[in-house]
Amino acid sequence: MSRSAGPALYTRRFWHLWTAHFLFACAALTHPVLSRWVRSLDFDLAEVGTIMATAVLAGVLFRPLVGRLLDRSGRRSAFLAAGVLASGGFWLDLPAADSRAVLYAVRFLHGVGIGGLLGTYFTYAADLAPPERRVEGIAVFGASGLAANGVGPAFAEWLVATWSFEVYLVAMGVLVFASLALTLALPETQDRPNRAGPGGFRQTALHPRLRSLWPAVFALGGTIAATLTYLGVFVDDRGLGSISLYFVPYASVAIAIRLAGGRLLDRIGPARLVAPSMLPLAAGLVLLALSRGAGLLVLAGALGGLGHGIAFPVLGALVVSRSDPALRGTAISVFTAFLDVGSLVASPACGWISDRWGYGKMFAGLAAVLAGVAALSPGGKESRP
C-alpha cells in the first residue's frame, strides 16, 4: 500500500471510518452463526434461507429512501437512523425467538439498518477517495470488512461455544452500537444537499453507463450471501470443522490483494478487471462443492478471497466514476441494492437446491452463473469522470 505521490488518501478521517466499519462488519458478517441460531429454533433449511432473506428484502425496499437521505440530509443522518436499527435488531432477536411473525418483523427492521449502513459507509469512503485513487481507496477501506470477515465469525463461534447464542446476539448489538458512536464523531461531507425527486434511484439504476455492471454486482451479491448463509450448516453437515478454515484464508488473501495491489488496480483500469475477477470466485465455489476435508476448504476460501478482493472495489469504483457526483449516495445505494437483490434471490433458492440435491450441486450452480457473467461482461479502458 503506497503512501507516496498523489492526493492524500490515508488521512486520520479515513482510518477513523475504517475502524468504525470494522466494528460494524464484525457483527454484520456473522450470518453463518445467525443462521445456526435460526436453525436451532427448528426451522428447515429453506425457511432459514427465507428468514435470512427477509432482512435483505427490507434493505432493498428501503434503499431508495436511504439514497435520498444520503443526498438530501447528509451522511451523518443516515448513519444515525441506520445504526439505531442495526444495533437494535440484534437485541430484539432475543424476545422475538418465541414468535415466527415477530422474528420476521425483527429481521425486516434489522435489514433496513444493515443495508442502510452498508450504503452509507461506502458513500462516505468514496467521498474521501481522490478520483485517481478511487479503486485503491474503496479497496483499502473495504479491507476493514474483509478483516472482519476473518475475525467476526470466529469470534461469534467462540461466544456461542463458550456461553450461548443469547450472549452472541447481545455482543453483536454492542459492536454495532460502538461503530455508530464512532461515525457520529465524523464531520459531514455532503456540503450541498441534492434536491432531486424520488425518480433519482430509478434513473441511476437504468443509466446506460451503469446497466452493464449490474449482472456482475448481482452475481457477486448472490455468491457472498449463499456462502455466508450456508457455510456454517455445510461445514457442520460434512464434519469439516470450523468455518474459520474457509473465512480466514478468504479474508487474508482478499486483504493482501487490496493492500498490495490497490494502486495497480487503478493503473490497469477497473473496466478491464470485471470479468477476470469473477473466475477465481467460480473456481473457489467448485472446490467448495468438492470439499471433503480441510485442505480443499482452505484453498476454496483463498480463491474466493482473491475474486472478492478484486471484484468489489472494481465494481464500486466504476459505479462512482460513471454516476453524477451530486447523486453519489443514490448511486452507491443502487450498487448495494443490486448486491442485496443477488442475496435475496440466492438465499432461499440455494436452500431449496441444497435440500433437494445437496450442497455440491448448489455451489457448482453458483460457479456456473459466475462463469457466465464473466463471459458476458464488457471490458475496455475506463474514462475518467
Q: Is the pLDDT of residue 102 over 70?
A: yes
Least confident interval from 50-59, 70-79, 115-124, 313-322: 50-59
Band (4; pLDDT cuts 50, 70, 90): very low
Q: Which residues contact 2 (CB under 8 A, 6 or more apart)?
A: 263
Residue with cell 455482543: 171
Q: Is the pLDDT of residue 383 over 60?
A: no
Q: pLDDT tens digits, residue range 40-59?
A: 887 877 788 788 878 888 98
pLDDT value of residue 379: 62
Q: pLDDT tens digits, residue range 229-281?
A: 788 778 887 777 777 788 888 888 988 988 887 788 888 888 888 989 999 99
Radius of gyration of the chain (CA): 19
pLDDT value of residue 195: 56
Q: Is the pLDDT of residue 78 over 90?
A: yes
pLDDT value of residue 153: 84
- The cell numbers describing 210, all together, are 451503469
Q: Residue range 181-206: average pLDDT?
A: 78
Q: Residue range 287-305: average pLDDT?
A: 87
- Percent pLDDT > 90 in the chain is 42
- Percent pLDDT > 70 in the chain is 94
Q: Is the pLDDT of residue 32 over 70?
A: yes
Q: pLDDT tens digits, residue range 8-31?
A: 889 999 999 999 999 999 999 887
* DSSP secondary structure letter of residue 382: P
Kindly report the CA angle at 118 between 112 and 122, in degrees rounded to 5?
150
pLDDT value of residue 351: 80
Q: Is the pLDDT of residue 184 over 90?
A: yes
Band (193; pLDDT cuts 50, 70, 90): low
Angle between helices 31-39 and 165-183 (to 10 degrees): 140
pLDDT value of residue 39: 84
Residue type, 373: V
Stronger pLDDT, 299 or 239, i.e. the higher one = 299
Average pLDDT of the chain is: 86
pLDDT value of residue 311: 92
Stronger pLDDT, 293 or 21, i.e. the higher one = 21
pLDDT value of residue 196: 52
Distances (CA, A) of 340 to 41, 112, 186, 195, 222: 25, 11, 27, 26, 8
pLDDT value of residue 194: 61
Band (110; pLDDT cuts 50, 70, 90): very high
Stronger pLDDT, 225 or 373, i.e. the higher one = 373
- Domains of the chain, by residue range, sit at 12-190+201-376
Helix, strand, coil % over all residues of the chain, rounded to 5: 80, 0, 20
pLDDT value of residue 349: 85
pLDDT value of residue 6: 58
CB 152 within 8 A of CB 59: no
- CATH number for the domain running over 12-190+201-376: 1.20.1250.20
pLDDT value of residue 199: 56
Q: In 3D, which of 227, 124, 163, 171 has the Cα closest to residue 26?
A: 171
Band (214; pLDDT cuts 50, 70, 90): very high
pLDDT value of residue 117: 95
Q: Residue range 115-135: average pLDDT?
A: 92
Positive or negative, the Cα torsion across 380, 124, 222, 306?
positive
CA 286 to chain centre: 21
